[in-house]
Amino acid sequence: MLATSVIMFREVLEAALIIAIVLGTSRGIAGRGRWVVGGIGLGLLGALIVAFLANVASSVFSGNGQSILNATILLSAVAMLTWHNVWMSSHGRKYSSAVTAVGSSVQSGHRPLLALLVITFAAVMREGSEAVLFIWAIATGGEQSLDMLLGGMGGVVAGIMVGLLLYLGLLRIPVRHFFSITSWLILLLSAGLAAQAAGFLNQAGLLPSLGNGVWNTSNILSQTSLIGQLLHILVGYIARPTGIQVVFYIGTFLIILTLMHTCGKKRDKRLKTVKIPS
Q: Which residues bind another protein (CB under 8 A)?
A: 3, 7, 10, 54-55, 58-59, 61-64, 66-67, 70, 75-76, 78-80, 82-83, 86, 130, 133-134, 136-137, 140-141, 199-209, 211-213, 218, 222-224, 238-242, 245, 255-256, 259, 262-263
> In whole angstroms, what is the distance from residue 245 CA to residue 263 CA?
27
Nearer to another protein, 158 or 214 (CB): 214
User: Least distance (Å) from another protein to the CB of residue 172?
Assistant: 29
Give least dist CB 54 to another protein, A: 5
Beta strands in 159-235 (DSSP E): none
Distance in angstroms (rounded) separating the CA atoms of residues 28 and 78: 22
In angstroms, what is the minimal distance from the CB of 181 to another protein? 21
Between the CA of residue 180 and those of 54, 174, 177, 239, 248, what are the distances in Å?
A: 41, 11, 6, 27, 23
Beta bridge partners of 206: none
Closest distance of CB 170 from another protein, Å: 23
- Whole-number minimum distance, CB 222 to another protein, in Å? 7
SS3 106: strand
Q: Which is nearer to another protein, 175 or 255 (CB)?
A: 255
Of 33 and 65, CB closest to another protein: 65
Name the nearest CA neighbour of 86 among 13, 175, 25: 25
Q: Is 63 in a helix, a strand, or coil? A: coil
Which of residues 168 and 250 has its CB atom nearest to another protein in the complex?
Answer: 250
Residue 244 Cβ, how far from another protein at the closest point, in Å? 9
Nearer to another protein by Cβ, of 179 and 242: the residue is 242
Closer to another protein by CB, 99 or 125: give it: 125
- Which region, left, alpha or beta, applies to residue 23 given φ > 0 means left and ψ of -120 to 50 means alpha? alpha
What pairs with residue 146 in β-bridges? none
DSSP-H helix ranges across 208-242: 226-235
CA-nearest of 74, 59, 69 to 18 is 74
